[in-house]
Amino acid sequence: MAYSGVKLSDETLVGQPIDLNNCDREPIHIPGLIQPYGFLLCLDEQTRQVVMASANTKDLLGIAPEDLVGTGLGRLMEPEQLLEVERLWPSITEQGRLLGVRLERVLNRPYFKLILHRYDDLLWVEGEPVADNSVSAFDLPTLNLAMGSLLSATTTLEMCRVAATQVRALTGFDRVAVYRFAPDDSGEVVAEDVREDLPTWLGMHYPATDIPKQARAMYLKNWLRFIADASYVPVPLVPAKHPVTNRPPDMTYSVLRSVSPIHIQYLHNLGSQATMTISLIEDGKLWGMITCHHQSPRLVSYELRDLCQFLGKTVSALLKTKQQYDELAYRQHIAQTQTRLFEQVGTQLNFVDGLYRFTPTLLDVFDCGGAAICFDGDIIQLGHTPNPEQLTELVAWLREFAPDEEVFYTDSYAQLNPAGRAIRGTASGIIAIRLAQAPSEYIFWFRPEQLQTVTWAGRNEKNQTTVDGQIFLSPRQSFEAWKETVEDTAVPWQPMEIAAARDIRLFISDVRLKIFNELQARARGLTALNIELERSNDELDSFAYVASHDLKEPLRGIHNYSLFLLEDYADKLDADGVSKLQTLVRLSQRMEALIESLLQISRVGRQELQLQPTDLNQVLAEVLDLLSPRIQETNTTVEVPAPLPTLRCDPVRMSEVFNNLLTNAMKYNTKAARYVEIGVAPTGQPTYHRPVDTSLFEVLYVKDNGIGIDSKHHESIFRIFKRLHSQDKYGGGTGAGLAIVKKMVEKHGGELWVESEPGQGATFYFTVPKLL
């Protein structure tokens, strides 16, 4: 399947302890050896003369390597053949290029296919004989079928299964598997096409040490590696080192390059006699590999290998799109399930009934093992969850160690609380949303330990052996699956799942607030008109939230499918069609920004303030630290003439006020040196023209030297989606920032206004209650 190990006779390893890190030191790119089924010639780029030749040229060509060194290819070719090669050299790169010639001057020898490439200041000529038992047949209809199947696959795993099937159908290998890397460089076989009588590798995992980092680096450069017979005896180069550089040549792109003897032993342990590996690369990173195995030697033609490499590159090019399909499908599932859940909750007298009595339930929103509702002294369990006593203990732990977390999540609860080991079988991963200020009201989603057992392809260890007095790290000698317990960790929660849980919490808060307001209105004996008005306001607020939330998902679908159309069909459309699709993408992005702003401003109205004595100097310092890259980029100087006071406010909302006003001050400014001043307005001779009770309120200001604002717009700029400039000026935006700031200030009981003239900068004043 891959490599593992390094010979410890190298000088760099003498005296060092033997450990798995030594695998990453093996110089696999300069073995100085080739596989014997073909021959290799290295030519000087300037003289076009052979400077190195493989030792088997006597057997394959009838000419000893010593006799070839110092001569040109004319020794082997007719003049017209040599001229054809010479015409190709200027366009040859490190990637191999096939040239089929019959070496007429070499009598009674097979017909050779020559593969040419340029690397390490050498011209490389590799000859592969056309053998009677080589696998080479393919046709255009087969390729067309393979491409169509890859393109039509709707998920990443389906595409991997198609790739495995197509490569095996083309090459006839006993087994073709698709291997995917995890973030820690371990891997898993995610798709496979295998001979019926062989055991499956599907689902098997492999430790990161199976493919050392230098091998992964080589797979990024050279997409394909082929071994026709794993029992081969390596053939050395003559001479062993380049006569000028005095080192072995870099064989990274050599087709015949000999592989590590440790890897050969690895293949023997697998029972493989022939292999082919094709890299799968996404955004410059090794995503995985298509790996082929055969139980007997198998010579696959260069043309067919090249075709398989083309399929591998096609899969690589499609990976991002297929994974976007996967993510979009799951995102749509969450959104649709969440919307139906909201409908159920909104139509029940007891909102809790809408969470679990009907379909879908809370359990259906995410890929999870269980869910639970702890509300009003009751515990409702769905799926596989901890028992009621354990859930009560979990709530108590959250109250003590995460009392301010509205949404708490972890993929390893046992690492945070040792008592969590008792519930890791059902609840290693947890999302918890706090329903209200009541200390024991929570909704939970649970995921079990990632895999109670993982099937590894042999033990994650290596045995030491000694050969001729030299120490080797050999690969695992047995590949019988064994079980390794993966402790305490669940599949991580995705950002979209966390966001959806937060939305569910907000919606339930809205419903409960609506119910509370209605009951309070009745209790105070308000008139029917007042009751109806209160209900309408609540419903309008909820509508703004639900409408904007529900619009986001189909709009994202429009945006993504527009991108997919551009990526996949742009070459089939005329310029006008492409332009219209690009306009659709741009407008969908604009619409999504507007919807997100509407959603944000509706949330500001509903969120409860966490009022507390707050040092505004600390709040401002954190905001300036967050904005420091933007401040430096725009050459902005920010001054605070005097320390700011400590006031009773919500520190998070106040940081958002400063953030928005500072951002606008930098944004709407065309000067080379921009200036912003933040301070407390004087009470004796105020610079603002508005009556303020300074015994109750502090007046703060943010002043800039920007473009200024005409007095006729001083009120309209605080309306949502109001912009004074075209969309393409001053960095764009939705026009919701000042509306949000105004709502936050008013939520504190204060006011926000601006004083400004065009070209004279602007000063934004806002009031905050004093700490009495």
Task: State CA 604 to chain mean position distance.
Answer: 31
Residue type, 674: R
User: Which pLDDT tens digit goes with each residue over 630-640?
Assistant: 899 999 999 99
pLDDT of residue 467: 45
User: Which pLDDT tens digit goes with each residue over 405-420?
Assistant: 899 999 999 999 999 9
> What tokens does 120 get?
């390490």
Kind of pairing between the strands at 235-238 and 50-54: antiparallel
Kind of pairing between the strands at 224-227 and 235-238: unpaired
- Averaged pLDDT, 353-365: 92
User: Which pLDDT tens digit goes with each residue over 137-194?
Assistant: 556 777 778 788 888 888 999 999 999 999 999 899 999 999 998 887 888 899 999 9
The string of DSSP letters for 413-455 reads HHHH-GGGGGGHHHHSEEEEEE-SSSTT-EEEEEE--S-SEEE
pLDDT band, residue 104 (cuts 50/70/90): low
pLDDT of residue 286: 92
CA distance 119 to 239: 18
CA distance 701 to 683: 13
Closest by CA position to 322, among listed 151, 568, 493, 162? 151
- Averaged pLDDT, 62-85: 88
N residues, the chain? 772
Tally the C-alpha atoms within 13 A of residue 704's C-alpha that lie toward its C-beta.
23
Burial of 558 (0-12, 13-18, 19+ CB in 10 A): middle
pLDDT of residue 19: 37
Q: Is the pLDDT of residue 658 over 80?
A: yes
C-alpha distance from residue 396 to each of 403, 409, 414, 575, 738 (Å): 10, 16, 15, 63, 41
CATH class name, domain 33-129:
alpha beta
> What tokens does 440 get?
């024991």
pLDDT of residue 696: 87
Three-state DSSP class for residue 629 = helix
Domain ranges for the chain = 11-29+134-235+248-323, 33-129, 505-608, 609-769
Q: Is the pLDDT of residue 712 over 70?
A: yes
Q: Is the pLDDT of residue 721 over 50?
A: no
pLDDT band, residue 468 (cuts 50/70/90): very low
Same fold, 11-29+134-235+248-323 and 33-129: yes
C-alpha distance from residue 582 to each of 352, 558, 730 (Å): 45, 12, 22
Alpha helices in 368-429 (DSSP H): 388-401, 413-416, 424-427
Higher pLDDT, 582 or 500: 500
Rg (CA), the chain: 35
pLDDT of residue 528: 52
Higher pLDDT, 319 or 271: 319
Closest by CA position to 241, among listed 51, 499, 376? 51
306, 308, 314, 320 alpha-carbon torsion, rounded to 10°: -130
pLDDT of residue 500: 93
Q: For domain 609-769, which CATH number applies: 2.60.120.680, 3.40.50.300, 3.30.565.10, 3.10.20.30?
A: 3.30.565.10
Residue type, 151: L
pLDDT of residue 236: 94
pLDDT of residue 270: 80
pLDDT of residue 156: 93
User: Which pLDDT tens digit goes with each residue over 735-759?
Assistant: 567 888 888 898 888 999 999 999 8
Q: Does domain 11-29+134-235+248-323 have CATH number 3.30.1330.60?
A: no
Please state whether the predicted TM-score (pTM) of the whole model is above 0.75: no
Closest by CA position to 252, among listed 216, 276, 212, 306? 216
The share of the chain scoring above pLDDT 90, in percent, equals: 38
pLDDT of residue 175: 96
> What tokens does 165 get?
């099937």
Tally the C-alpha atoms within 13 A of residue 548's C-alpha that lie toward its C-beta.
20
The angle at the Cα of 383, spanning 381 to 389, to the nearest 5 degrees, equals 40
Contact 294, 274 (CB under 8 A): yes
Burial of 15 (0-12, 13-18, 19+ CB in 10 A): exposed
The angle at the Cα of 113, spanning 109 to 114, to the nearest 5 degrees, equals 110
Closest by CA position to 753, among listed 706, 693, 709? 709
pLDDT band, residue 222 (cuts 50/70/90): confident
